[in-house]
Amino acid sequence: MKTKLDSIRAEVEKQIAAADVPEKLNEVRVKFLGKKGELTAVLKGMKDVAPTERPKVGQLVNETREAIEAMLEETKKKMEAAVRQEKLAAEVIDVTLPSKKNQVGHRHPNTIALEEVERIFVGMGYEVVEGPEIEYDEYNFEKLNIPADHPAKDEQDTFYINKDIVLRTQTSPVQARMMESGKFPIRMLSPGRVFRSDEVDATHSPSFHQVEGLVVDKNISFADLKGTLEVFAKELFGEETKTKFRPHHFPFTEPSAEMDVSCFKCGGKGCRFCKGEGWIEILGCGMVHPHVFEMCGIDPNEYTGFAFGVGLERIALLKYEIDDMRLLYENDIRFLKQF
């Protein structure tokens, strides 16, 4: 894997050296760091790496990404400086004219937040796994311990294509498919778009994104879940962040909990951002329900595991102090260019 990453870095250096305009530099960025880029393909191939090697490989991947981004940024600045020098040398500038600035696109706040979450968990040895957005009812509900008469299956919440096929309401079906594969241990992260029949307002949308995690192995306990999520919270919101877990109910986990983080704005003292409580609800989690294991063909007496899920938009709203989710999708350039 290290040889492959070194090869990717060498190829990036070669193509950056050959790039003579910003457009070609952007092509290099998309080719290697884009959603279908070569480095992204390496991340998706983490499932083939031995579990004991995943943290080390994850760290190497993150270091390679950072090195590539640094090279691209440095070369971009050099190009911009060269262009300015050429213009100064070739033109007589009328300083009374309004300036013109080339508008170049960049990553969406959701993408920035997702990449940070993936970086944290890949560094802990997780692999990123994606699944279909159009899903069978069996995987979206039945295998997750949500029977036919469960309220979550009401048509007010779910978009049904027919009685057996739905637009997935969560990314948990990806976890069910992974458990069915019978390849253990499992340490996975499943980000993706989900759909629910909600009215559009400041905190709801019929289409949004979730990031869910799953660990299945022998002798996994709730202590492992707490430790993992505490590391995640500190990496995402700062080393001083504290966590607390409150009992909750989810059909596919038992016991279940919701996790709060101390307000990173006021340090837990209470402010407008946390509504004076000092804590902010961030995600749901719990130990995988034994019946879910049975539905996926796993012996619950031999294996245990934990799962967690967080809304990607919620992370972006909290991290960047955005008070209306609609801003993320209205394509207002005045808002987006802040990121």
Compute the half-sphere exposure of residue 127: CA atoms within 13 Å on the CB side of its CA. 23
10-residue averages of pLDDT along the chain (339 residues)? 72 77 78 74 70 74 79 82 79 75 79 90 92 92 86 75 91 92 90 88 84 94 94 89 91 92 77 79 92 92 94 85 83 82
**Per-position DSSP letters for 114-149, written without gaps between them:** HHHHHHHHHTTT-EE----SEEEHHHHTGGGT--TT
pTM of structure: 0.65
d(CA 51, CA 127): 10
